[in-house]
Each structure stands twice: as structure tokens, then as C-alpha cells.
Copies of this chain bind each other. A is one copy, B any other.
């Protein structure tokens, strides 16, 4: 649960206010579908033991519609040609109120819920006796699990209409809801609206963002409400005022949409729907942080300054970071040990603890790899191709930074250092979100690194995202974030892919195959298969499926291999052919990643069947053939269209460091942009630079194209 929503655990009494915009249709009639869905939600809360109070408006609007219709039915043709007198709003309220209550009563009774009607006026509350009695009455109703439905007694109210709008409809039941919340000591007030909540700009504008938690000091004055919605008559201003007042008095208030069928239930589950008003909001770190867009824009601006620096200055930043890490080693260790201790206490498993801990020598190792990165050939502005288009018109394709990256990684705090240094080397801005287990380690590493970034660039080049709740906001920013790189479980990768339009670099599955051809060297096959499976079974480049040529079975080597795998503790599961042959359990699906000391085995007819199998069931990560026949190897290397295809070498080699790329941000199985292990090169893109001396196209009449390739100057 979002920490800002933890207060819901203590909520018992809930007041829900539903306005005209939610309960009426465009034609003024009751939106019976939405009213029904509201009743169903309140029934749920009632069943769960909450004390539910409804403040229902909309009566006047419904009454207007009904009376207009009545007047039409009663009119003669003559009457209809006269100008129509305005309907009396009190009469409308009287008619509308009974319609509204009849509907609530019918709907609630279908749901086996008893509802009751309470009509009150502002002036009633001046009387202390009334207030005491009201509390008692409501208390008795709630004890009987009856839902009290409040409305302003508009039909007999004697006050003027200061809040009446041009349609003659009142719009201040929001303040009545706040009044009741205070009077009846509610634990939560929910104001239903026709939009998702409070936005920082009119909700129909392209970059309007929902404010999850309202902080008066921050948001007051900064928000433009825009035009009132076409359907809503209350308007957001009144709601914000009412919500702010209730929150000040200690009653948390949420403004959320009444169009959805489950928002109230979600609010009470602690989900982050709508806009929360809470008296302590200003003190929560979450909301003190800058917004997602602000963070991404700042990273982009800093990255442009970084890119504009001379190469030697960029190199110096990396060297400064390496020095700063070593200088702050003891500080980093203290924070990391605190994380490890907390994780131990929380009972996390060994493998997580091992990834979390920065082992002795790790910091100096990281510093060393940053210095290697600093010394690599400048990757930015590298001329990739050069061509003379016409006399004096030279076109170059040059490498340049991608822009802003969002990297979401789990556990490993050393990943933060690797990724940050790769981003700086490639001139990119970076937003980082680490696992919460490594919160303190990540915070100190981020601090040490960003403090080493000069002011000419700005420390906001690398933003640290500290709460998971910011991720959905970040994933929406496809106009300021250029690439998302998730590093973690399949689930994390899939979730991110499913929820963003920003390109995602990475891999969900790592289903790597080793195919042993009939011509394989038996000893080599055993050697490679054992390494591919057992060197580090949890790695994405470990073998998950072993395919064996049918003729390899007969030479006896296969049985030895199987025995050896089993002896090492590998559990074998078979496809239809192998399970029959080896008497092992049959797999349900060949598309399966074990990540453990287990694998699938299947027999195939030849190299073509192996390739088919890999295309059909694989994940395009790393696939290997073992054969002494170079023609067969060529077929496999040419046709398997995975990110990495190996001949007579273990799949475990598929790794940025082993491939000589320095650090890696991850392994990509995507076919767009970088594939396989991604280092600096994958964090770059290219630009076309054209230099002329006044060349114009002029309908292609004036230019004599030469299209001559030029040598790259180095």
C-alpha cells in the first residue's frame, strides 16, 4: 500500500458525496446506471462493516426535467406558443427529491440494504440540540446497518440562492458534506466528481497530470481549474475548498471519479485513486519530491549541457565519480550494512541478501570499471558514415546520446553505479528506480555520484525515484523519456512493457537452447552443456532446453551426458520423444524458463527441426549449436534469428563484460535498436549532419547529385 494511504486502515465511518454531474445524464434525467453502480459499491462497504453515509444531490435537476415534461403533457397547443415561465426551483426540488429517493430505495432494496432519508438545512446546525439529536439518529441508523442518505432540504429552505448557477441548480452540497463529516465525526470523506480527481491543468489538456496528494502550500495558486466540465455543475473549486476544509479538521478526503464502478472500494483498499487531502500531507516526503515530468525534463536539460561539454570534461566527471566512490567507501558500507541487516530481519532469502551486500573490494572494483569506461574512445560525435551528396555538400551520420533513460532495477545496488556511469559516458540523462530493499545503499550511492557532477551540468542529470508509486507517472511520459530499461524478474519486465508507450529494452524470458548435432564431438558437447546449465542456473543466459539429433542417441554419448547432468543434480523433463526414451516426466510447454537446476530435453530429426523448434518455442535470447560439421554450423548460425547465436561455445558467454563491452545495462531480445548485451553503444542514437554553402533543392533541378562515399576521418 502507498504509505500516504495507510490511514485507511483506521477508517470506520465513511461519508460519500455524490453530485449532480455524476447522477444525472446530459438530458437531465437520472443516470440510473451510475446510480446503480454507486449503490452496489456502498452495499459492498456496508457488508464489509463500514459505516456508510451518503450525501446525495441532483434532486433539483431531476425535478426540472420531470416538471418540464409534466408541463408539456398538460399544455394545450396555445400554451406551448407562449413564452415558457421559469420553473420554481423549490417545486423542482420537491418533485426531484422524491424521484431520487424512490430510485435509491428501490436499488438498495434490490441489494438487501435499507436506506433512510434525512433532509437538512444549513440553519439547522445553529441549534446545538439539533446537532446532538442528529448524531444520535445517525448512530442508531448505522447500528442497524441502515445507510442514511442526506440532502439539503431545498424545497423548504428559506435562504437565498447564492450558489445557484444559470440552470437553477445548487452546487454546494460539497460544503454540506464537509459539515456533516465534522458533525458526525467521519473517518473519511469521499467527494465523487466527473473527472479522476484534481489535475494541475484542465484535464483535457495534453500534459495535465493528476495530483495524487494535494499540498496546499505547493498546489494552491499553481493550479488552473479551466472551464467547468460540460456535465458537472459543481465545479472543482468548490470541491477543493470543501476537501481542504475537511482535511484541515483532521478528516482525510479524497476527490475521485463517480463514473468508475469501483473507485470508492479502491480508496478504502488504500489504492492511489483520485486526489487525497490530508492534514499531514505537507510533511510527507513523497509529495515534497518533484513531480515525474519535472524530474524527466530536468534530466534532459542536464544531459544537453553534458553533451555540450568537451570530451575531456566528460571524462573527468567519470574519474571524479570513481574517486568519490572510493573516498566515501566507509559511508557507503554503513548504509549498505543497514540495508542488509534490515533485509535479514525481514527474512529475505539468501540469494537476495547476497545480491544486496556490497562485498569487500566491490567499491574499488566499481571505481576501476568506471575508470576503464572513462578511458574508452569518446563514443559521442563519432562519425559513422560520410558522403558527398553534391559538390560542397557533405552529409555525415554521427553518434549522439539517446536522451533520457528510465532504468528500473531490483536488489543489486552496484547496478546503480554501473548504469549511472554508462549513462554519463553516453551523454544521457537518467532516472533510476532501485529495489526498496536497497533504499539506503541506493540513496548514498546516488548522493556520492551526483555530488561529483559539476554544476555546469547539474546533479539532476541522474534522478533517483524513491517510491514505486511514481513509476506509473513516469511510464506515461513518452514525450520526455526515450527508453525504459527494466532489469529484474520476467514479471517486472512484462508489467512495464504492458503499461507504457515508451520503447522498452530488455528481455522477459531467457529460454536458451543448446542443440547437439549428430556430428558433435561428444566430449565437447558434455563440457558445454554442463557449463551452460550449471555454471549459474539462475542467469538468463543459462541453458533451459537441450535439443539432441536423433542419430546422436545411438553412439552412447547421449546416455553419458544424461547421467552426468543427473549426477550434477539437474532434473530433466522431456518432450514427447525424450520423455518416452528416458522415462522422465513430460513438459506441458517447451516455452519454459526454469532458472534452476532443471532443464527440458527433446530429440529432433536434424538441424532444420532444431531451428524450427527454437523459432517456435524460444525467446530469441541465446542459442547454441555443437557440431564438427561447418556446413551444418553455417545453416544454424545463418538461420536462427536470436540476439546471440553460438557455435561450440557455452551460452553463458552472452554477457556485456565477456563480450568486451565494459559494463552492460542489460540484455535485449527486442529486434528494434540494440540487441543482445547492451553497453554504451546501445545508449546512443545517430544524427545526420549536412554541411553546405547555400545549397537549395529547388525541385531537384539545380543540384547534380554525386552520392560519393567519403573516407571516415579518424
Contact = CB atoms under 8 A, between A and B. Distances in A.
Interface in A395-432: 395, 400-403
Given A110-B32, A660-B389, A698-B531, A641 B692 contact: no
A531 B36 contact: no
B687 A645 contact: yes
Interface stretch (A99-107, A313-321, A350-358, A441-449): A99-107
A690 B103 CA distance: 72
Contact of A649 (B38, B107, B393, B633): B393
Given A400-B641, A672-B483, A649 B691 contact: yes
A696 B32 contact: no
B106 A521 contact: no
Contacts of A261: 33
B648 A693 contact: yes
B33 A689 contact: no
A645 B698 CA distance: 19
A21 to B, nearest CB: 16
B642 A30 contact: no
Given A694-B528, A696-B528, A402 B644 contact: no
Given A103-B106, A110-B29, A501-B497, A694 B637 contact: no
A130 interface: no
Interface stretch (A161-169, A338-346, A462-470, A650-658): A650-658
Given A482-B672, A675-B687, A688-B644, A650 B696 contact: yes
Given A482-B671, A648-B692, 11 more contacts: A31-B36, A33-B38, A103-B106, A393-B653, A641-B687, A646-B689, A646-B692, A649-B692, A649-B696, A672-B685, A676-B687
A95 to B, nearest CB: 12
A87 interface: no
Interface in A7-46: 25, 29-40
A613 interface: no
Nearest to A498: B501
Contacts of A644: 687-690
Contact of A30 (B34, B110, B659, B694): B110
B675 A685 contact: yes
Given A671-B402, A672-B685, A653 B690 contact: yes
A637 B689 contact: yes
A648 B694 contact: yes
Given A39-B33, A402-B671, A671-B482, A643 B696 contact: no
22 contacts: A30-B110, A32-B37, A32-B111, A33-B37, A33-B261, A103-B106, A387-B659, A389-B659, A401-B641, A503-B670, A521-B694, A524-B693, A527-B696, A531-B698, A637-B689, A637-B691, A643-B688, A653-B697, A658-B705, A672-B672, A672-B673, A675-B688
| Chain B CB within 10 A, most for which of A647, A653, A673 | A653
Contacts of A642: 687
B653 A695 contact: yes
Contacts of A40: 25, 31-33
Contacts of A519: none
A638 interface: yes
Nearest to A478: B497
A524 B694 contact: yes
A228 interface: no
Contacts of A649: 393, 690-692, 694-696
Contacts of A705: 658, 660
A284 interface: no
Interface of A: 25, 29-40, 69, 99, 102-103, 106-107, 110-112, 261, 304, 307-308, 381, 387, 389, 393, 395, 400-403, 482-483, 497-498, 501, 503, 521, 524, 527-528, 530-532, 535, 615, 633, 635, 637-639, 641-650, 652-654, 658-660, 670-673, 675-677, 685-700, 703, 705, 707
Contacts of A650: 695-697
Contacts of A633: 691
Give the top 8 A-B pairs by smallest Cβ distance, nearest first.
Answer: A33-B37, A649-B692, A531-B696, A32-B36, A33-B36, A36-B36, A660-B707, A652-B697
Contacts of A687: 641-645, 675-676
A517 to B, nearest CB: 14
Contacts of A697: 531, 535, 650, 652-653, 658
A532 B30 CA distance: 58
Chain B CB count within 10 A is highest, among A37, A652, A688, for A688
A72 B498 CA distance: 47
A529 to B, nearest CB: 10
A237 to B, nearest CB: 26
A615 to B, nearest CB: 7
A353 to B, nearest CB: 20
A542 to B, nearest CB: 10
Given A40-B33, A672-B672, A690 B646 contact: yes
Contacts of A110: 29-30, 32, 99, 103
Nearest to A33: B37
A670 B535 CA distance: 40
Contacts of A658: 389, 697, 700, 703, 705
A457 to B, nearest CB: 14
| Interface-central residue, A29, A32, A107, by most chain B CB under 10 Å | A32
Nearest to A385: B681
B112 A304 contact: no
A597 to B, nearest CB: 16
A709 to B, nearest CB: 8
B307 A641 contact: yes
Contacts of A653: 389, 393, 690, 692, 695, 697
Nearest to A693: B648
Contacts of A654: 688, 690
A641 B403 contact: yes
Contacts of A643: 687-688
Contacts of A639: 304, 307-308
